Structure 1
Amino acid sequence: MTGAGGAEARLRARLAEVDARLAAQRSAVAGIVESARDANVDDEHDPEGATLAWERQQAAALAAGAEAERHELLAALDRVAAGTYGVCEVCGRPIPAARLAARPAATRCVEHAR
């Protein structure tokens, strides 16, 4: 797949993967919170309390990462619609296809990558 149509299809496929991962992480957080509801809430003295808190924070961090990637992919889809996808926002040159394959929501070429 090449061109804007190919880029859009790849971005939408990646977005579907990220949406599934986000839903799974949100479900995991809800499950941990639900299981902790009936547990001893004294994390300091309950040997399982620290584990539950760590698991909840881990799942929440993974969900936040998925949410950030989702936002980047939606912005990339906006750039496809505007005709600016694959163009470095700093120098205006094309972003190499290999970079876009590795980072579909990239906004900068390798030279200007942060």
Structure 2
Amino acid sequence: MDDATARMRLESMLQELDKSILVLGADPAAPKERSAADAGAGLTDADRTRAMIDAAARHRMAVLAALRRLDDGGYGRCVDCGRPVPEGRLEARPEAARCVQCQSRAERRR
């Protein structure tokens, strides 16, 4: 993928993530009255929302890092081994920082 296309896709992803984070983090327009039974369900909803916000924030950080790599000339190279990241991987995940092999190793370490 050429740099201009990558930048356009990454910037579009960043805008969508910012919108999602804003919507998820926004308070409801009007407070709702809740029964005691609903209070427990609300915690689950709040936990789920927090998890979605956290995932979107991590994804946003990956997109910003990819944009920095574009600016620095390192986009498309694995941050671990320096080999080229396969074109198909960048098509599917423009924010990908690692080749498939290094990504697999990183995930196993977690």
Q: Residue 7 of structure 1 corresponds to which residue in structure 2?
A: 6
Structure 1 CA distance for aligned equivalents of residues 61 and 5 of structure 2: 20
Unaligned runs of 5+ in 2: none
Instruction: Name the % identity.
Output: 31
Matched positions, count: 104
What is the TM-score of this pair, normalised by structure 1?
A: 0.81
Give the greater-gyration-radius structure (CA).
1
Structure 2 CA distance for aligned equivalents of residues 90 and 75 of structure 1: 14
Deviation at 1:39, TM superposition (A): 4.0
Structure 1 CA distance for aligned equivalents of residues 51 and 62 of structure 2: 17
Deviation at 1:35, TM superposition (A): 2.9
**Aligned-partner residue type, residue 47 of structure 1:** A
How big is each residue's C-alpha offset from its partner over 1:25-74, in whole Å with a ceiling of 9 and x where there is no partner? 112xx229x636x546xxxxx11111111111111111111111111111
Q: Considering only aligned residues, what root-mean-square deviation do their CA atoms show, in Å?
A: 1.8
How big is each residue's C-alpha offset from its partner over 1:8-32, in whole Å with a ceiling of 9 and x where there is no partner? 11100111111111111112xx229
Structure 1 CA distance for aligned equivalents of residues 5 and 79 of structure 2: 21
Q: Does 1:35 align with 2:46?
A: no
